[in-house]
Amino acid sequence: MSSVSPMSSAGSAAFETVIGLEVHAQIVSQSKLFSGSSSQAFGQDPNTCVSFLDVAMPGMLPTLNQECVDQAIRLGLAISGTISLVSVLDRKHYFYPDNPAGYQISQYQKPIVQDGTLQILSGEKAWKTIRIQRIHIEQDAGKSMHDQDPLTSYVDFNRAGVGLMEIVSHPDLSSPEEVIDYIKRLRCLMRYLGVCHGDMEKGQLRVDANVSVRRPGEDLGTRVELKNMNSLRFLHSALNYEINRQIGEIEHGGRVIQETRTYDPASGKTRPMRTKEVADDYFYFPDPDLTPLVIDSDHVQTIASTLPETPWAKHARFVQVYGLSEYDADLLVEDMDVSYFFEQVVSFLSEPAWAKLTANWILGELFAALNRTNTSFSDAHIHPENMAALIQAVANKKLSNLLAKEVFGIMFETGEHPEKIMEQRGLVQVSNQEDVQQWICTVLNRENDNVAAYLSGKDKLFAFFVGQVMKESKGKANPQAIQALLAESLEKLRP
Amino acid sequence: MSPLLKLSLDQVLIGLQSKAFSATELTQSYLDQIQRTRGHNAYITVTTERALQDAKRSDARWSNGTAGPLEGIPIAVKDAYCTQNILTTAASKMLHNFIPPYESHVTQNLAQAGAVLLGKTNLDEFCMGSTTTPVHTGPTLNPWDVSCTAGGSSGGSAAAIANGSALLALGTDTGGSVRQPAAFCGVVGVKPSYGRCSRWGVVAFASSLDTPGPFARSVKDAALLLNVMAGYDKKDATSLNHPVPDFTRRIGQSLVGKKIGIPKEWFENAQMDPEILDLWKKGQELFEKNGCEIVHVSLPYSSYALPCYYILACAEAASNLQRYDGVKYGFRAKNIENLEDMYCQTRGQGFGPEVKRRILLGTYVLSHGYYDAYYNKAQKVRHMIQHDFRQVFQQVDVLLPPTTPTPAFALKASVSDPVAMYWNDVLTVPVNVGNVCAISVPAGLSNTGLPLGLQLIAPSLAEDRLFQFGHIIESNTSMPDLPF
Amino acid sequence: MGYFMSETPAINPIITMQRLARLHLTPEESISLGQDLAKVLSWVGQLEGVCVRGMPESQQPAMALRQDSVTEGDQVSLVLGNAPCPKDSFFTVPKVLKS
């Protein structure tokens, strides 16, 4: 569970930042958008997931994948967008080796989804609505590799033709932090819906940003397009750098040039991309090998009725039903597997009120253990029943927090049932007076000077004694029991 | 020359069934004829080995009673159809060495029906042109008069029928590329309804207009070939999901009471040779004698069909040809400096002048700032033309114009004005733009002995009318034998 | 647009179109194709005057969609079989800039 480490935020009070995003999300499907080759080509040998259409051989024709259309409808519905019952597939022309037909099939004027919104958290508490302009489907390009040889580039068409959803936001984002939150929430939503896996390292999610700055009240500043930021960290860095660069430019009396810039991770800076000699015209026109995409409104209804629960619906449910705080609910919901685990654990508990305790343990001890051992949640196999048993023991005071942490640690490593662990290693909380008293006496006998100090007024030493008793008992003593008996024992020692 | 060459399709099928001769014998006769007529340059590739293999297979099928509808029939295929493991060039240097690893849907249908592949015929480069004069593979000569063009773009297939070196042939019709060479070569050529035959595996010129179509010596043979070519193909999103009838079913049925439409604007504007006008008049009289009523109809927007066609076809062509970039297959220029150089040199050297002309025009009409005025406008005009046809077919059963404004013209006649050259298609293009179907049937000779064709046009999916009415022209016209 | 379609543009568009279409033309070709282009553009420009008000809706059938299943792949030799410069299962092209 990595998070973007907070970096110094860009900007200055004198300037507003305006950011719009174009997110390319690879669609989860068996086959590609227009051909029957596999769309799960990442890591496969070159040119093995390639159909004759994917290399644009003469006479080959596209046929649109129903599932890809449905995936776009799912996302469109989840962002409360309008599904266009008639949309058009257009050709977008440009020459590049990874674009086999010399055109990409995309959507220009009539995309499949129009409008929509996504809520993000701006700062810590304030919800902000980001408007989404459109979602359209299009083909992904192949891959050109330039490092194999000084004179030639190598081209692999495995990725050519994989379905993409391009999600275009309005320029409603105002800071790099908002952008990160937007991407995280969008990605989370797409994972919940099963429409995109969103792994940026595998190229399943790519973000281009349009960035400009302006003084408050002024017209929109010149936009710069940023590309090639293939992790959240790079995205944040790039935006920070660019915003500061633009502000610096203006403050020194210069102008921001409209251009496309690429992020260089090594230097942490953005720099202009090679400008082309002739501004390319994309020659958009409706693909004559296809006819308009007509979607039945009944079909949209069917999809709507079978839509998986969205992250915010789950969030609302966690807050309402389980009484979790907004913050905790947010953290649990971020990973679908974690939130599912949470509910499974709670289902094994005899008291629903212990849901909050469960949340604390997951967000606390469990996440800490994952971080410490550098394990992802999906790789750590924690049985919900085991987790529930542990929570139960804590709630029933069979285990002190301290002991429970120890038990948890062993459970995390070995996968054993907590009761078995407690039994085998004697990690049961001891509350009986005799044993506790024994430990208290041992400690007080040893700490003569401190006892004297306490009795002469140093009240703070009480906590010290509690700690010593806990240590003496190897964590097994019930803290409440210690408290009661310790006070009594100390009083008895007063001359 | 073998007498087998003179047999019609019906006669051949009977002969094969009764074992009067074998498919191998028949195929060999055709292969010999191809050699004999090679001066006409109808064929780019003769597939001798494959033909004899096919024939052997057909002989076996005739023996064990599993013969298909075209079992053992020798067929020539325009070199725009991708044939698996057989060189497919589209008459272009760009594809001079292209060996497709797949078979086009239509030629697959043919193979399944038992046809024997004789070879790949010549065409205008990438199907663009009306003369079959590609730079890369040289011109095809008209078997009736070798100083004349065979027409285009499917000139090779038309010539192969006319010179007896194929019994049936395949072409593609985008703006008249089957009908016009059929008329010039005195054979039957059909443009079926768009979507009737799958375009999968056919080298694309203009996607919304390209229509695979048959060539034959007679109307009935053409119908039988179309029976096999046609059919829904889910690999082609523009393929029509309609059942394929037996296209011969109306041949011989009475035409009494049927209405023949004469398009007024075509009469007024097509600038036809007097011989053609005469032929047209005779054609109308012929149908009147057979009980039809002649109705003068108006297709007002059809006057714009030709410029409309050129805008749309060239735009789609420019787009479809962007894939020819030297990266994945085909020609790549040598001595190139960098990527951009590779693109420009490959395409500059790989394409002939007509292709370049059309790419440049297509690029222009799609470009930002001109798209609305040209491409978008042409689409709208196209819809109006389609509407015109729908209206007219509520009044008449078929339309009857000539196929071409002139007979085949001399190869040497240099036409420097491209617009004048495009005028050849004035009577055929409205059919493609209008999304209807048509047939060209030989109907007479010019006074220099060149064949002339009459066209019949029917609504989309009504090809059987074409064969019904076409048969009447054929049976009432005394055409000389084909020149072999 | 700054001029009517029926007028041929004062500046020959051939240079721009040639670049956009990645078509190298010899100087002779530029001239002759440029002239051809101008003639054809002028001629097709007659559509400008055509009135298309009250245009009927297009009658295209709705597109049939394909079921999502893997039906093709694992055919590297066929895919690369016609490649001008294949290397180790890749297509190769010259780099954008000369090294």
What DSSP string runs through A28-86? P-SB-SSSSBBS--TTSPTTSS--TGGGT-TT-----BHHHHHHHHHHHHHTTPEEPSE
Distance between CA A8 and CA B41 in Å, rounded?
76
Instruction: Please judge whether C23 and B351 are an interchain contact, meaning their C-beta atoms are less than 8 angstroms apart.
Output: yes
Q: Is there a domain that residue B453 lies in?
A: no
List the domain range (segments joined by +) for residue B106.
Answer: 6-229
Q: Which ranges of C1-91 would DSSP assign to H, the alpha helix?
A: 14-20, 27-44, 76-80
Number of domains in chain B: 1
Phi/psi of residue A117, each to 5°? -140, 155
- Give the DSSP H or E segment for B33: helix B23-36
Residue in B235, B209, B212 with CA at minimum distance from that of residue B222: B212
Please give the pLDDT value at position A8.
Answer: 40
Please give the pLDDT value at position C5.
Answer: 39
Mutation for A interface: C15, C66, C71, C98, most A CBs within 10 A: C66
Q: Is there a domain that residue B222 lies in?
A: yes
Please give the pLDDT value at position C57.
Answer: 67
pLDDT at C11 over 90: no
Instruction: Please judge whether B101 and C84 are an interchain contact, meaning their C-beta atoms are less than 8 angstroms apart.
Output: no
Please give the pLDDT value at position C58.
Answer: 67
Please give the pLDDT value at position A120.
Answer: 93
**Quick one: how far is CA B91 from the chain centroid?**
15
Please give the pLDDT value at position A448.
Answer: 87
Please give the pLDDT value at position C9.
Answer: 42
Cis before residue A297, ω within 30 degrees of 0? no
Which of B78, B120, B191, B258 is catalytic? The answer is: B78
- Confidence (pTM): 0.90
Please give the pLDDT value at position A41.
Answer: 86
- Using the Cβ of C57 and the Cβ atoms of chain A, whether some distance falls under 8 Å is answered with no
Please give the pLDDT value at position A489.
Answer: 87
Please give the pLDDT value at position A275.
Answer: 64
Domain A433-492 matching CATH 3.40.50.450: the answer reads no
CA distance B418 to chain C (A): 7
Instruction: Please judge whether C74 and A291 are an interchain contact, meaning their C-beta atoms are less than 8 angstroms apart.
Output: no
Q: Which of C19, C79, C94 sits opposite A55 (nearest CB)?
A: C79
Contact partners for chain A, using 3 or more CB pairs closer than 8 A, are: B, C
Model ipTM value: 0.96
CA distance B132 to chain C (A): 20
Instruction: Please judge whether A45 and C66 are an interchain contact, meaning their C-beta atoms are less than 8 angstroms apart.
Output: no
Domain extents in chain C? 1-49
Which of A143-152, B420-429, C11-20 comes out lowest in average pLDDT?
C11-20
pLDDT at A350 over 90: no
Instruction: Please identify which residue in the block is written with the tokens 């960098």.
Output: B338
Mutation for B interface: C58, C93, C95, most B CBs within 10 A: C93
Name the residue of chain A whose CA is nearest to B374's CA: A285
Please give the pLDDT value at position C1.
Answer: 32
* Per-residue pLDDT reduced to its tens digit, A275-320: 654 557 899 999 999 999 999 999 999 999 999 999 989 999 999 9
pLDDT bin (cut points 50, 70, 90) of residue C56 is low
Q: Is there a domain that residue B427 lies in?
A: no
Which of B29, B104, B153, B198 is catalytic? The answer is: B153
Portion 100-129 of B in contact with C at CB < 8 A: 101
pLDDT at A401 over 50: yes
CA distance A86 to chain B (A): 16
Instruction: Please judge whether B237 and A283 are an interchain contact, meaning their C-beta atoms are less than 8 angstroms apart.
Output: no
* Per-residue pLDDT reduced to its tens digit, B218-233: 999 999 999 999 999 9
Structure letter (DSSP) for residue A194: T
Give me chain B's average pLDDT, please.
Answer: 96
B78 noted as active-site residue? yes
Distance between CA B398 and CA A8 in Å, rounded?
78
Name the residue of chain B whose CA is nearest to C35's CA: B417
The residue ranking higher by pLDDT, A440 or B223, is: B223
Please give the pLDDT value at position A7.
Answer: 37
pLDDT bin (cut points 50, 70, 90) of residue A415 is confident
- Give the DSSP H or E segment for A433: helix A433-446
Question: Which residues of chain B, if any, have pLDDT below 70?
Answer: 414
Name the residue of chain B whose CA is nearest to A277's CA: B340
Instruction: Please judge whether B100 and A288 are an interchain contact, meaning their C-beta atoms are less than 8 angstroms apart.
Output: no
Please give the pLDDT value at position A1.
Answer: 37
- Using the Cβ of B317 and the Cβ atoms of chain A, whether some distance falls under 8 Å is answered with no
Please give the pLDDT value at position A303.
Answer: 97
Phi/psi of residue B48, each to 5°? -55, -55
Which of B177, B198, B239, B440 is catalytic? The answer is: B177
- Using the Cβ of C38 and the Cβ atoms of chain B, whether some distance falls under 8 Å is answered with no
Q: Which of C24, C29, C78 sits opposite B101 (nearest CB)?
A: C78
> Coil, strand, or helix at residue A136?
strand
Structure letter (DSSP) for residue A368: H
> Coil, strand, or helix at residue B259?
strand
Contact partners for chain C, using 3 or more CB pairs closer than 8 A, are: A, B
pLDDT bin (cut points 50, 70, 90) of residue C10 is very low
Phi/psi of residue A308, each to 5°? -65, 160
Please give the pLDDT value at position C98.
Answer: 62
Domain extents in chain A? 16-303, 309-424, 433-492
Chain C hits for A163, CB-CB cut-off 8 Å, are none
Please give the pLDDT value at position A328.
Answer: 93
Percent of chain A residues past pLDDT 90, beyond the cut: 66
Instruction: Please judge whether A102 and B367 are an interchain contact, meaning their C-beta atoms are less than 8 angstroms apart.
Output: no
Q: Is there a domain that residue B173 lies in?
A: yes
* Per-residue pLDDT reduced to its tens digit, A371-393: 999 988 888 878 999 999 999 98
**CATH code assigned at B205:** 3.90.1300.10
Please give the pLDDT value at position C12.
Answer: 64
CB A99 within 8 A of CB A141: yes
Q: Is there a domain that residue B296 lies in?
A: no
B177 noted as active-site residue? yes
Name the residue of chain B whose CA is nearest to C54's CA: B384
* Per-residue pLDDT reduced to its tens digit, A202-245: 999 999 999 999 999 999 999 999 998 999 999 999 999 999 99
Structure letter (DSSP) for residue A137: E
Chains B and C form CB pairs within 8 A to the count of 150
Please give the pLDDT value at position B199.
Answer: 98
Instruction: Please judge whether C95 and B347 are an interchain contact, meaning their C-beta atoms are less than 8 angstroms apart.
Output: no
Q: Is there a domain that residue B195 lies in?
A: yes
Please give the pLDDT value at position A423.
Answer: 81
* Per-residue pLDDT reduced to its tens digit, A245-275: 999 999 999 999 999 999 999 999 999 987 6
